Amino acid sequence: MDVLVAGSHGQVGQHITNLLAQSDHTVRGMVRDDRHVEDIEDLGAEAVVADLTQDVSHAVEGCDAIIFAAGSGGDDVWGVDRDGGFNLIEAAENQDVERFVMLSSINADSPEESPEAFQESELLYTIVRPGPLTNEPSTGQIKIGDDLERGGDIPRADVAQTLVTALSMEGTYGETFEILLGETRIQTALAELE
């Protein structure tokens, strides 16, 4: 698959981009700032400059799948995290992209804490909602569920691996789920959704 990673320069995005670059997929890393192009190329991806708050159709053109890992870091939650997601979904539908995997957060179902849920679309979507992120090394193991107990966390590297693994697993199509650090291998945990 030709995969576009939105937010490829972010902490989770860099893990995703690196994993895809080492796989059989072709990866494009979308960045907002020209200064990050070289960093993305160093990860083994083709860099494409696009702003989620603007027209992103050129970034999406020719892609088979999108992993949305972009975030404003709290600076523009509505403009980037929510409306930017809508903008990318619309561009994906217009360009006949079928697969869309989105990184959200464990509190996204609480309107007072996170932007409202993303609009329904015709895309084969998966929404992954991790708990608090850490920079601990990957364990390759997660806990998965619809309403996990709060208080846990998960390494960014394991979140990235979950998103990349979900790309080609049909059992994750149309699913929204939470993940935390756990004791089940990522592939096995996702397979249990089927």
Instruction: Quote the CA–CA distance of 50 and 17 in Å, as a whole number.
Output: 16
pLDDT at residue 78 greater than cutoff 90: no
pLDDT at residue 114, rounded to an integer: 35
Name which of 83-87, 166-170, 177-181 the model is least confident about: 83-87
Task: CATH number for 2-191: choose from 3.30.413.10, 3.40.50.720, 3.40.50.1820, 3.30.420.40.
Answer: 3.40.50.720
Q: What is the CB neighbour count within 10 angstroms for residue 149? A: 10
Tens-place pLDDT, residues 107-150 = 665 443 333 434 567 789 999 999 999 999 999 999 999 888 88
For the entire predicted model, the pTM comes to 0.90
Which pLDDT belongs to residue 113?
A: 36
Listed by start position, the domains of the chain span 2-191
pLDDT of residue 151: 86
Chain segment 38-76, per-residue pLDDT in tens: 999 999 999 999 998 899 999 999 999 999 998 645 555
How many residues would you count in the chain?
A: 194
Give the mean pLDDT of 181-187.
97
Q: What is the pLDDT of residues 26-47, one digit of tens each?
A: 999 999 999 999 999 999 999 9
Q: How far apart are CA 20 and CA 115, in angstroms?
A: 28
Q: Mean per-residue pLDDT for 138-164?
A: 94
Three-state DSSP state, 73: coil
